Amino acid sequence: MTLEQDDWRAAAACATTDPDMFSDDNWQIQERAKTICNTVCTVREQCLTEAMDNEEPFSVWGGLSARDRARLRKQTA
């Protein structure tokens, strides 16, 4: 991955919020993280693409939990 491909991370809403919120297993905390992704983040699509391409098994990425992404993978397979 080149630096340019990774530049979206600096613009991510999670870069300026509590990072633990995005990796917490508690569904209520995950819902708050998803809300941040889906309402404030300007790079949500790049983030979700990164997680889907790399089959990220943990955390909230692009407004979806690991469970949400697994369901999306099954739907698009």
Could you list the residues known to form a binding site, using ranges: 14, 37, 41, 47
Which amino acid is residue 2, in one-letter code?
A: T
Q: At what angle do helices 44-53 and 66-76 cross, to 10 degrees?
A: 70
Could you list the residues known to form a binding site for [4Fe-4S] cluster, using ranges: 14, 37, 41, 47
Token pair for residue 45? 């699509």
Token pair for residue 33? 């993280």
